[in-house]
């Protein structure tokens, strides 16, 4: 398992430009949330410009989109930060206040060799794959995760509703 890390990308379409006061709750939290992520257990890397600005990255064919891409030691480490860290949760809970629903998948996870830092083009390809094929070992979601390549997965016992693989 140590040979693989989990990459994730999620994109958002702000309802107004990030420079507008209506987005202050979001932009004002970015430095703090990023600092917490950078020091979180299992964090490996996040996409940002040389100036440290992730919101300046333009990709996915729409200059209005903001891109968050990172690499973590495991799905569990990423999920702990994304869904259990109070600072991140505070922003996540307010997402409908400042971001449009995209009507299709906006986040994807995939396994990368340890030390690999994915490109925006790679992330775009993985998100497109998820949108076209649904969750597969190549591109998946928190709801439908896949184990790392070569991982040994315990078989579920019949009728065990709490079973899931451990990465």
Residue-range domains of the chain with CATH: 4-133 (3.30.70.100)
Q: Is the pLDDT of residue 167 over 50?
A: no
Chain segment 6-63, per-residue pLDDT in tens: 999 999 999 999 999 999 999 999 999 999 999 999 999 999 999 888 888 988 888 8
Contact 129, 137 (CB under 8 A): no
Give ∠ CA 142-38-147 in degrees, rounded to 5. Answer: 30
Is the pLDDT at 132 greater than 50, yes or no?
yes
Tokens of 25: 């709750």
pLDDT over 90, % of the chain: 80
pTM above 0.85, yes or no: yes
Q: What is the DSSP letter of 67?
A: E
Residues 6+ away with beta carbon under 8 Å from 112: 4, 5, 6, 7, 71, 118
């Amino acid at each position: 398992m140590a040979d693989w890390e989990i990459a994730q990308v999620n994109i958002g379409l702000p309802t107004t430009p990030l420079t507008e006061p209506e987005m202050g709750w979001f932009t004002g939290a970015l430095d703090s949330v990023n600092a917490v992520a950078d020091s979180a257990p299992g964090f490996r890397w996040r996409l940002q410009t040389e100036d440290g600005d992730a919101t300046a990255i333009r990709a996915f064919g729409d200059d209005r989109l903001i891109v968050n891409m990172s690499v973590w030691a495991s799905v569990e480490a990423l999920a702990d930060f994304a869904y259990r860290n109070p600072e991140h949760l505070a922003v996540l809970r307010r997402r409908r206040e400042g971001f449009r629903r995209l009507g299709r998948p906006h986040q994807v996870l995939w396994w990368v060799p340890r030390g690999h830092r994915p490109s925006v083009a790679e992330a775009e390809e993985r998100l497109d794959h998820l949108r076209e094929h649904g969750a597969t070992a190549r591109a998946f979601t928190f709801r439908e995760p896949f184990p790392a390549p070569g991982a040994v997965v315990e078989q579920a016992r019949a009728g065990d509703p709490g079973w899931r693989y451990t990465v």
